[in-house]
Structure 1
């Protein structure tokens, strides 16, 4: 069978030392990667970084999915390559034109007619029926490699983005330390300072004094601001104070920077995965990658445009917060405190920005992965790669997106996304989150037990008391994910 399909010598006639050597290398590499991930997970657990540990679990899930895809392709490839169709069916929607001249002496790039006439390859099975295979063994192998490269590049780029973004956010730590030290300096409380609102640095930098007629200039300023000095110390101080005033009024010593980093780590585990709708995008691209359409070139602008939209929106939210303060106050005592609200976000949902960042990172990784796949499999002169004038801009755009998203957009997201109406459960330390979740579950069980015990006796003292306590418990169950943030923040000090 192997000889008929042109796949070379079967395992029956392969030297045992070759089989043993290849298996040793494959098993050794697999075990090394597994042990590396295991030790990284242990270290993250030891340091108490549960969100990053869960992100690592996501990576393992993606690798397991890839392993299953690999196994499925390997098991089914013998059947797939024997699905035969008429030749004219395979002459449409091609990534390369059939008129492109190829070197007939190059075994790696035979034409469709060469493959049809070669009775010794897997294509020869269909050629005997005057047909062509739906997907050849070589094409199936290329597709397999593409899916693997795509997933690996996406995971790598996601990690690099969060690492580089985290490095910039970590620089804000000295802002947090400086602000907290100044706020609790006794000499600062002797004479309260009143400042005209328009003279405050945050308002001067962000309030443009623009009316509705010139709103477009505000968006233009937001667009340009994301490329330089996207976040200043006055921005950080104003948004930090607004968050604490709204959500942690009883805890003025709250470490906003530490909470922001925990929230970003919590979001990272959502970004690192490859969701089903992202795979749909891959399928749509493969469908539209038709010769002459230059889909690979034009599609590179999608993540770039989306990144500009996201960065502009995040900067504009800061401007809106500054406008609200400037319009409501003439003078302020001390520092500026903005008012967080979901109204500033698209459809009142801050999570939409996270989904867009997820898509941007994936599509950018897809562009780079596709480039390397074509480069390795077919070379720079491949018709799929296109001409040099299409190749260079794609690489430049990919690098630009990676840098801008890492050093500007992601830090902006980490700060501005906290300006919603609610804060996240990351505000609590891990042990407090566990305690609150346990308390909410116990309260819910207690309510169910009281309802079962009391039955129709709703007027009894036990029934009334049970209902009161269970109401709090039931609220806690519903609020433990995000709305628990509306509880008095003093609970963090208990």
Structure 2
């Protein structure tokens, strides 16, 4: 019979079917693993250690998703055997019960309570059916695929935007080589100070409105880049005016990318909350799709407003202090913490990828006519918002963050190039090893004579920590 044939166990399944399915699964898995391995070797060959570490972080997140799926598989029998009363199973449903009964009658399927009536007593239904567990497996797979694609697009779009600043860096360095170093950096400072606008632009509300619209067009101009670059070098690298600020931004973006692709515990808590709020009639996923867009616009406006405040401060001090266009400070950031912006960007990108993954999961599992999918008037705005958030955040807000957060009081470890950074780590290890040897020598002072003259004649190695010359 059809029902019996569809319910065959492993004992009565043809071996060629089992072997074929295993072969396809293993082939796809090995191909994906080797592709990631090749990509990692490419990063190592190009000395892009930050991207290599980001790839390792991505593998960890994929392994976590695979482990979650494995736990669902192992405990699916135990979960499906748990029974709960009917009245508990009929509250907080994604679709109304009338819709479910109507679809059941049209498709000729049995209700869930009838399918598993032999497992649960009358008036009870399974806590989570095997069919629901299978669909949850599919959701985890779709989430992993969408997450990987969104992470890759984030890095590609962000890198493309910052690479547009490369010719600015080269032009500034060429001007500095042709002119006197005192005058060359100030060619664009007047234009940067003019960012504050006229008298009416100095009102807080008007200034915030101008910053809000600025993030959509010309968010960073050459004058902005020149002034912020000069302020950073004057603060952190005063002995090296030729420091390659562009390469520093690229290294910083790669370091921040490692934090963005991770799925922290609080993001998983948000996933649980989002799944909990998917109740029929609430249109929760439609309204929640506006959350990343609103946060993104606020973050972008804040970063633009910080640049305006820096320009305003430079304009006010231009008459008193000559040659210091930007004064770096953490006071302009929320709670005096520039890293807080990165956490918000992380949440925005993850929330957006989760929204798109949930949409594709419903589409592939139930189709467009599903009650969870709702109507086109809800679907189209969600997709449009998802695309806008991904492109705007990756191409505009993330590069803007990489530039503006360098105006904080503290510099990041990426201020050093790869060679200098490795040299510092080697020096620190040598100092630690030398310290341990010194402790052993001190323990022998009471038993062994020591010649202070010999000790004072030992050579001392010193490393001057300064910004590398990138000429």
* TM-score in same-fold range (> 0.5): yes
1:189 paired residue number? 180
1:102 paired residue number? 102
Q: State how far apart, in whole Å, the 2-side matches of 1:192 and 1:432 are.
A: 30
Gaps of 5+ in 1: 477-486
Q: State how far apart, in whole Å, the 2-side matches of 1:244 and 1:349 are.
A: 21
Q: Does 1:252 align with 2:273?
A: no
**8 Å contact kept, 1:260–1:414:** yes
2:333 paired residue number? 345
**8 Å contact kept, 1:314–1:416:** yes
2:317 paired residue number? 328
**Mapping 1:67-106, distance limit 5 Å:** 67-100=66-99, 101-105=101-105
Query: What TM-score comes out, normalization by structure 2 length?
Result: 0.90
Q: State how far apart, in whole Å, the 1-side matches of 2:190 and 2:246 are.
A: 23
| Shift in alpha-carbon separation, 1:413–1:184, aligned structure 2, 3 A | same
Cα deviation, residue 127, structure 1:
4.0
**8 Å contact kept, 1:55–1:269:** yes
**Mapping 1:299-318, distance limit 5 Å:** 299-318=288-307
Q: State how far apart, in whole Å, the 2-side matches of 1:424 and 1:125 are.
A: 63
1:203 paired residue number? 193
Query: What TM-score comes out, normalization by structure 1 length?
Result: 0.86
Q: Secondary structure at the match of 2:119?
A: helix
**8 Å contact kept, 1:194–1:332:** no
**Mapping 1:202-241, distance limit 5 Å:** 202-209=192-199, 214-241=203-230
Cα deviation, residue 148, structure 1:
2.2
- The correspondence for 1:155, drawn from 148, 153, 159, is 148
Q: State how far apart, in whole Å, the 1-side matches of 2:225 and 2:205 are.
A: 25
Q: State how far apart, in whole Å, the 2-side matches of 1:491 and 1:193 are.
A: 21
1:482 paired residue number? none
Cα deviation, residue 456, structure 1:
13
Q: Secondary structure at the match of 2:117?
A: helix
Q: Secondary structure at the match of 2:299?
A: helix
Greater RCO between the two (CA within 8 Å, min separation 6)? 2
Moved more, 396-405 or 149-158: 149-158
Cα deviation, residue 248, structure 1:
0.7
| Shift in alpha-carbon separation, 1:488–1:341, aligned structure 2, 3 A | farther
| Shift in alpha-carbon separation, 1:190–1:318, aligned structure 2, 3 A | closer
Cα deviation, residue 129, structure 1:
4.6
Provide, for residues 9-62 of structure 1, a one-character-per-residue CA deviation record: whole Å limited to 9, x for no partner: 112111111111111111111111111111111110010000100111111112
Counting matched residue pairs gives: 460
| Shift in alpha-carbon separation, 1:193–1:420, aligned structure 2, 3 A | closer
Cα deviation, residue 126, structure 1:
3.1
**8 Å contact kept, 2:237–2:243:** yes
1:385 paired residue number? 373
Cα deviation, residue 446, structure 1:
3.5
**8 Å contact kept, 2:155–2:394:** yes
Q: Secondary structure at the match of 2:97?
A: coil
1:27 paired residue number? 26
Q: State how far apart, in whole Å, the 1-side matches of 2:191 and 2:45 are.
A: 42
1:263 paired residue number? 252
1:169 paired residue number? 162
| Shift in alpha-carbon separation, 1:427–1:64, aligned structure 2, 3 A | same
Provide, for residues 400-423 of structure 1, a one-character-per-residue CA deviation record: whole Å limited to 9, x for no partner: 111211221112112111111121
Q: State how far apart, in whole Å, the 1-side matches of 2:379 and 2:83 are.
A: 35
**8 Å contact kept, 2:277–2:284:** yes
Q: Does 1:117 align with 2:110?
A: no
Q: State how far apart, in whole Å, the 2-side matches of 1:193 and 1:161 are.
A: 35
Cα deviation, residue 368, structure 1:
0.7
| Shift in alpha-carbon separation, 1:170–1:140, aligned structure 2, 3 A | same
1:53 paired residue number? 52
Cα deviation, residue 231, structure 1:
0.5
**8 Å contact kept, 1:164–1:406:** yes
Q: State how far apart, in whole Å, the 1-side matches of 2:251 and 2:37 are.
A: 22
2:280 paired residue number? 291
Provide, for residues 230-252 of structure 1, a one-character-per-residue CA deviation record: whole Å limited to 9, x for no partner: 01011011101111111111111
Query: What is the CA RMSD across the aligned residues, in angstroms?
Result: 3.0
